[in-house]
Structure 1
């Protein structure tokens, strides 16, 4: 991978909370301000996020950027052709396994470097990461002032094993703005994916607002 950027733009809302035009506006804004890493997933919007990002890449042809996407299990046979087609690229800078699954233990170690430069894990616990650590150079977990899946022990282990930590949801999917204290806002991520409420809507998180 090129020089590792310190900040990137997550594309989880593309094609779900916001449409293509709004997504393009955000992408242009980010690019103009120096963002050079873009993170998406096959699961975001049922592939819509990858498709929108791919259209933007084809339209703007930005230079010096990196793209990461994620795939869902099982992982015994990695199939990334659909993601490559939606993104309109022949090679991924970074591919994450989106969540833990026992087939991660069977991951093909001969992953074609011409197609995937580096491999990462997302939403893995320390124990799960330890089981597969030789294969990964990145790990991406939730980390913000309300909720964190990056403990001191987790961080120390990654540092000792040369694993770069990428964190997501710096504003807690909007929770840390305080706008949900009186209830879930219509059209928000918590309304569209109610399961997100379980992550943030509890006493310990509210106490940190």
Structure 2
């Protein structure tokens, strides 16, 4: 396993990590969670990702029980949660000081932890002043509830504002962002965030490296199984039943000859491709079966096969590489 600094921090995270979104609490119980987390851990994974919103908190409960069962040394782990959607009450959602503090404490109780290494603002909150949010997140770090704080799916402008507020008020700034990044969704990461990497050394814990399974090639002959067919994810299926969605699926099929030539799966190629970006601190993988975890962990070996000429062929096959602004330095 390769370990990378989380941005300009001194924290080392495994290049591949394991997240519980969608699976824990809906498809995976404590026994299965522990089994898959152990496979990832044995492969060198040290970062495990979660959120208060996942399965209404049940995901954190399952991960907490799995961690107790596995008995790993706490200092060997990097654990996270994300705060925004905590319930149905008027103060259970968003990034007010009240919800940030109460939501984080509740998440720690569910995870059976004294602290998380990373806590994220799961989305921007347009009803709460950014100064209030930055003060509250900085407070979490000062009090030891979390060691680092960051954002998830924030725009570059919003992240920049958080840095400016933190600098002006002498508070702890965000260390990392958790954005979607894969061969089909590249513009925000590669264009919009470019200045953040240069100016602030922003770390990233990227999610959806397989675009909800689309980059595994499983939907080439139609949407009949997988994440797009799960109850509650009809919105995601509809996205790929549009003309644009069908074109995205067809683009994946153009990768298949390259993967076959290299002797790897489409999933391994797609995961490996994300790890090649130097601004990616860690790639969050997901799985509902042990064999999926085992196959995902082989992506780092596959990354060694992605020489510059192969990366160029991938760009040509996909046609998704965004153009940089002409006035960009």
How far apart are the structure 2 equivalents of 1:50 and 1:7?
A: 20
Q: Does 1:107 align with 2:133?
A: yes
Q: How many residues align?
A: 209
Aligned: 1:45 with 2:59: no
Deviation (angstroms), 1:47: 1.0
- Report the counterpart of residue 182 of structure 2 in structure 1: 144
The CA distance in 2 between the partners of 1:172 and 1:117, in whole Å, is 29
Runs (5+) with no aligned partner, structure 1: none
Partner of 2:158: 128
TM-score, with normalisation over the residues of structure 1? Answer: 0.89
Runs (5+) with no aligned partner, structure 2: 1-9, 85-92, 167-172, 253-329
Alpha-carbon distance in 1 for matches of 2:213, 2:115:
32
Say if 2:117 and 2:146, in contact at 8 Å, map to a contact too.
yes
Q: Which residue of 2 aligns with 1:11?
A: 20
Answer 1 or 2: which has greater helix percent: 2
State the distance in 1 between where 2:112 and 2:77 align.
14
Distance of aligned partners of 1:81 and 1:170 in 2 relative to their CA distance in 1, 3 Å threshold = same
The structure that has the greater radius of gyration is 2
Partner of 1:206: 249
| Contact persistence 1:120–1:139 (CA under 8 A) | yes
- Tell me the TM-score normalized by structure 2: 0.58
- 1:83/1:150 Cα in 2 relative to 1: closer, same or farther (>3 Å)? same
Cα contact 2:115–2:145 (8 A) shared by 1: yes
Tell me by how many angstroms 1:5 deviates: 2.8
- Per-residue displacement from partner, 1:114-166 (whole Å, max 9, x unpaired)? 11111110011222222223431100100011223413331332332121122
Alignment-derived partner of residue 174 in structure 1: 213
- C-alpha displacement at 1:82, in angstroms? 1.2
**Are the equivalent residues in 2 in contact too, given 1:138–1:164 (CA < 8 A)?**
yes
Q: Report the equivalent of 1:75.
A: 95
Counterparts of 2:52 and 2:27, CA distance in 1? 16
Q: Say if 2:89 is the partner of 1:65.
A: no
